[in-house]
């Protein structure tokens, strides 16, 4: 038998008050007598009434709901970021609506507009790049936005990241001092600002400064099979050390090399730039640029709470420390 949803009307009838009074209690309005408030709260608890956040927002102009935009719900990188976001949202009593913008029938700007139509108070954006259409939608609705774990070449939106250039340069130096002179970089989306304006330029500068010849840049490598199938090309190009931006692609390269009878790190060194749990469970374990993913998410959510409440924010572009964790996929000499 289908269980009928409890409405604000049911609560008002049981508590013998008006629906406006129930609404005031739900929204924390102090203009309700204590005995009336207690009676309404008792009925809410007894009937298991769940106030709709958007409906609450109609009265308060706030929904206490934030939108979380991710490119891929199965990506461990964004899953670990989301944990920090969720914990701070819970602490400050915000609800979260999660939406993915990859592999959707709708365009990105349509997905974002659909989210904004739900009257979210703010948005944390974690996709690889922020399109002009998406940026325009946020500006048009004056919605506070924080970019978490991604960058944009506009200064309009707050962000929480690491120093990607410095991190990749340190990783390249590690492989270079291990005797690797034919270095490559493997990225997913080459047009993402993190890659196009940070990682790839850092790699090109390192190659030029150390006179290491023609850069070897491999793009559109986004999953395990992409990494696995790329390895023969790395061999053909003589690559002996590589930075890979996605853990899952790193594992593909690793397994392909092992299946070909090669030794890691002797024949090929691998450094992965995402540092999810995946990097530590494979063998040999992968050397990683460890980003503080939980902290990045937590700091992004805390910053968003301040922006939504018009509180002063000292720095809207926060750069957190990273760590190069040396494991078995590099010689570490």
Q: What is the pLDDT along the chain (333 residues), one digit of tens a residue?
A: 444 677 788 888 899 988 778 877 876 677 888 899 899 889 988 888 876 655 555 555 677 899 999 888 788 888 889 999 999 999 999 999 998 877 555 677 777 877 887 889 999 998 877 878 778 878 877 889 999 988 887 778 999 999 999 999 999 999 999 999 999 999 999 988 899 999 999 999 999 999 999 999 999 999 999 999 999 999 999 999 999 999 999 999 999 999 999 999 999 999 999 888 899 999 999 999 999 999 999 999 999 999 999 999 989 999 999 999 999 999 998
Are residues 234 and 120 part of one domain? no
Are residues 307 and 241 part of one domain? no
Rounded to an integer, what distance in angstroms lies between the CA atom of residue 250 and that of residue 253? 5
Structural domain for 121, as ranges:
65-162+293-322
Count of CB atoms situated within 10 Å of the CB of 266: 9
Are residues 99 and 18 part of one domain? no
Work out how many domains the chain is built from and give that number.
3
Question: Is 333 contained in some domain?
Answer: no
pTM recorded for the entire structure = 0.80
Are residues 276 and 170 part of one domain? yes
Are residues 273 and 210 part of one domain? yes
31: domain CATH number is 1.10.260.40
Are residues 141 and 77 part of one domain? yes
Are residues 86 and 24 part of one domain? no
Are residues 127 and 78 part of one domain? yes
61 close to 121: Cβ distance less than 8 angstroms: no
130: domain CATH number is 3.40.50.2300
Are residues 196 and 146 part of one domain? no
CA torsion 145-113-119-125 (nearest 10°) is: -30
Rounded to an integer, what distance in angstroms lies between the CA atom of residue 275 and that of residue 290? 5
DSSP bridge pairs for 319: 161
Are residues 223 and 117 part of one domain? no
Place of tokens 């929480």: 160
Nearby residues of 20 by Cβ (< 8 Å), 6 or more positions away: none
């Amino acid at each position: 038998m289908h269980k009928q949803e409890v409405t604000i009307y049911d609560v008002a009838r049981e508590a013998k008050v008006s629906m406006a009074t129930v609404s005031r209690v739900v929204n924390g309005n102090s203009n309700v007598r204590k005995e009336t408030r207690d009676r309404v709260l008792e009925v809410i608890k007894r009937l298991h009434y769940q106030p709709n956040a958007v409906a609450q927002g109609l009265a308060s102009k706030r929904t206490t709901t934030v939108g979380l935009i991710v490119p891929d719900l199965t990506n461990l990188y964004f899953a670990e970021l989301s944990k920090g976001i969720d914990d701070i949202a819970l602490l400050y009593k915000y609800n979260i609506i999660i939406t993915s913008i990859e592999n959707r029938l709708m365009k990105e700007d349509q997905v974002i507009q659909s989210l904004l139509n739900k009257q979210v108070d703010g948005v944390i954006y974690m996709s690889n790049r922020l399109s002009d259409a998406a940026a325009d939608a946020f500006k048009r609705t004056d919605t506070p936005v924080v970019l978490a774990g991604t960058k944009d070449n506009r200064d309009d939106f707050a962000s929480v990241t690491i120093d990607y250039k410095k991190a990749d340069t340190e990783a390249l130096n590690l492989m270079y001092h291990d005797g690797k002179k034919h270095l490559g970089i493997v990225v997913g989306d080459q047009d993402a600002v993190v890659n196009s304006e940070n990682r790839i330029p850092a790699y090109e500068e390192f190659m030029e400064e150390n006179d290491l010849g023609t850069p070897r840049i491999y793009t559109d490598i986004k999953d395990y099979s992409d990494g696995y199938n790329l390895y023969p090309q790395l061999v053909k190009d003589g690559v002996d050390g590589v930075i890979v931006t996605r853990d899952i692609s790193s594992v593909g390269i690793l397994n392909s090399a092992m299946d070909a009878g090669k030794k890691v790190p002797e024949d090929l060194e691998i450094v992965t730039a995402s540092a999810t749990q995946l990097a530590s469970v494979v063998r040999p374990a992968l050397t990683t640029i460890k980003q503080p993913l939980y902290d990045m998410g937590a700091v992004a959510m805390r910053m968003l709470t301040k922006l939504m409440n018009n509180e002063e924010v000292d720095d809207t572009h926060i750069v957190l420390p990273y760590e190069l964790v040396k494991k078995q996929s590099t010689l570490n000499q």
